[in-house]
Amino acid sequence: MPFAGAGASFFHPWRALSAGRWRVVPFELPGRERRLLETPYRNVVEAAKSEVDGVVEALGEGARPVLFGHSLGAVLAYELAHLLRARDVPVERLVVSGSPGPWTQRERRATGLPDEEFLARVEEFAGFRHEALGHPEMREMILPVLKADCEMHENYVPSTDEPLPVPICSVRGASDGLVSADGAREWRDATTGVFGYAELPGDHMYLVERAAEVLDLIEAESSGGPGRNGGVGR
């Protein structure tokens, strides 16, 4: 599940990196790439409910998915996990990345700011500014989607207070200035199953450079083995 502003293509390189361990199924939200002409969502719960049919179809019969989501994708994956279980899809594990627990809202917000202030705030959150935003045509295309994604993330309220009976692993960049270690560990309260916590080198967008390590970590978590780069704390 993608972070704010991202499309499914971000995860395409993960298919080769998975080296046959996983069938990587990138999730595409409206308003970008193949769904460019569709209106983007502004509510996480609505997005999950509207897209769950497509997710079930993409997974295929008999799938036991591990759901991965970063930042906005983390809470979207959490909502989808609830919906998939209600449809008897056996979610094997939820891996949430760069996110505090689902009941914690961000104190500093970007929603509603004028364009330049909005982009500066998003750059502050992410730790970098996407080069495409420097091109007027690309910016005109990306900015509405990024605004919609930030709005639905910053206004997110979980659809239920019931924890998932699914193991959860929370992953964080060790230098993340947006999500603290304590915040990332709040996901412990979102599951009645096993909880794991891991840190990988990098800031909030650590996964840009650490995709292989993320996949190794997912494999280690799913097999019950130790994670890399410091292990998995429980």
Q: 170's torsion region: left (phi>0), alpha (psi -120 to 50) or beta?
A: beta
Tokens at residue 89, please?
Answer: 């899809």
Beta strands 66-70; 195-200: pairing state: unpaired
Q: What is the pLDDT of residues 73-112, one digit of tens each?
A: 999 999 999 999 999 999 999 999 999 999 998 777 888 8
The whole-number pLDDT of residue 40 equals: 95
Domains in the chain, CATH or no CATH each: 8-223 (3.40.50.1820)
Q: How confident is the model at residue 221 (pLDDT cuts 50, 70, 90)?
A: confident
How far apart CA 226 and CA 151 sit, in angstroms, is: 37
CB atoms within 10 A of CB 56: 17
How far apart CA 172 and CA 170 sit, in angstroms, is: 7
Calculate the CA dihedral of residues 215, 218, 219, 225 and round it to 10 degrees.
Answer: 130
Residues 6+ apart with CB under 8 A from 35: 28, 29
Residue 213 or 143, more confident: 213
Q: What is the pLDDT of residues 29-82, one digit of tens each?
A: 999 999 999 999 999 999 999 999 999 999 999 999 999 999 999 999 999 999
Q: What is the pLDDT of residues 172-186, one digit of tens each?
A: 999 998 899 999 999
**Sheet of strand 66-70: strand arrangement:** 66-70, 93-97, 168-173, 195-200
Share of the chain above pLDDT 70, in %: 91
The whole-number pLDDT of residue 137 equals: 74
